[in-house]
Structure 1
Amino acid sequence: MKMILAIALGYILGSIPFALVIGKVFYHTDVRKYGSGNLGGTNAGRVLGKKVGAIVILLDALKVVLAMGLACQISVSAGIWAGTACCIGHCFPVFAHFKGGKAVASSFGFFLSLWIFIFHDPRYFLLPLLMFLVVLYLFKFVSLGSICALLFSALYITGTVWNIADLSVIAAAWIMTILVIYRHKANIGRIRSGTENKISWL
């Protein structure tokens, strides 16, 4: 029962659409009607400005940290699955007709939580972040950097977690990787056709 409650808590926290809330409350703008239509930090930044985008990214990451921090009081597995549910909730939020973001910031919230609550090792957060920044610098695609970061993280976790009791974190890492790739399927198509937007500030 506690595990179910932890997962439910994670999903509910993940469903909080900060891009939508900030856009409507402070800017009287529904970001779903502009840009890519996604409720994530990238689209919020594109529509409302870089400052808002950064705030949304931070809040989307921190909601996962909160979910995992609370659920880890029950057990490590509860924390892992609460974090996974939070990322799923971000993509399919009950408070926004199940149309949310792409789980990139929330995935980094998961990586940060692995460092803080699970492994106490900064590499679980810093190495995927480095992969994201390197790919972003080389190719100028946020979507490609995000996908590569998730793939790297899943491979790194798979290669470094040997305790059978921690196998849930491997499963969670691959679930989130598949989720992020699925949410970026349109971006992948645009990259292949040469029509994906590149960042201009790097």
Structure 2
Amino acid sequence: MIKIIFSIILGYLLGSIPFALVIGKVFYKTDIRQSGSGNLGGTNAGRILGKKAGIAVIVCDVLKVVLAFGLASLVSEVAAILTGLACCIGHCYPIFANFKGGKAVSTIFGFLLSCAIFVFQDPWYFAGPFLMFFLVLYLFKYVSLASICGALYSSIFITSEQFILKMEPIIIIICSWLMTLLVIYRHKENMKRIKEGCENKISWM
């Protein structure tokens, strides 16, 4: 139990590393919290600092979850899953950035990639939601909507697979839905803007 608790704390701390803030300040002398949406995520970083910076932030945010998940998997599968969730929470509410972070999109994909590697050994747990994300993004041009649809798809897929295959532990279903709810909650203002017709659309697809 102590090892699991330590893993969860480590996951939260790794998730709290605000790479959007670090990359912005170190390489661009810019605090992206002062521009755009003010969000410490890859989308806002790309919008303010450029495509290369946005991609770098997304990759780092994904990898911090994979690192935390991988380390915790040395303890147990349950520890890894809970650590992945803690990492996503840390990303949204980082102790190193006054608890004002990103919207969990990159980190939930980091969680799914980790599950595909360390838990299920099946690439579709990551590839399916990833394809859904880009399909919705291509059709509607809203990153926020695509993120929510990708997260919902992932939870529905994981839940159905668990019930069909009767795999354990059930904690993966619970954590998956908690992260999906977190993504939806973090995008509530985006959904409101979509309804009002004033949400930003991407122009590169």
* Partner residue in 2 for 1:87: 88
Aligned length: 202
Separation in structure 2 between the aligned mates of residue 198 and residue 123 of structure 1, nearest angstrom: 28
Distance in 2, matches of 1:53 and 1:169, equals 29
SS at match of 1:161: helix
Determine the C-alpha separation between the residues in 2 that align with 1:148 and 1:25: 33
State whether residues 162 and 168 of structure 2, in contact with CA within 8 Å, keep that contact through their aligned partners in structure 1.
no
Q: Distance in 2 between matches of 1:124 and 1:153?
A: 7
The answer to whether structure 1 residue 35 and structure 2 residue 36 are counterparts is yes
Question: Once the two structures are aligned, what percentage of the paired residues are identical?
Answer: 63
Partner of 1:69: 70
- What is the RMSD of the two structures over their aligned residues, measured on CA atoms? 0.7
Normalising by structure 1, report the TM-score: 0.99
Measure how far apart 1:165 and its partner are. 3.0
SS in structure 1 at match of 2:170: helix
1:38-187 superposed matches below 5 A = 38-162=39-163, 163=166, 165-187=168-190
* Structure 1 residue 110 displacement after superposition: 0.5
Report the residue type matching 2:83 in the other structure: A
- Write the distance in 1 (CA, Å) between the matches of 2:5 and 2:191: 34
**How far is 1:150 from its partner?**
0.3
Give me the whole-angstrom Cα distance separating, in 2, the residues matched to 1:101 and 1:37.
Answer: 9
The one-character-per-residue Cα deviations of 1:1-57 (angstroms, maximum 9, x if unpaired) are 111001001000000000000111111110000000000000000010000000000
Q: Kindly state the Cα deviation for residue 166 of structure 1 after the two structures are TM-superposed.
A: 1.6
> Which residues of structure 2 form unaligned runs of 5+?
none
- Calculate the TM-score normalised by the size of structure 2: 0.97
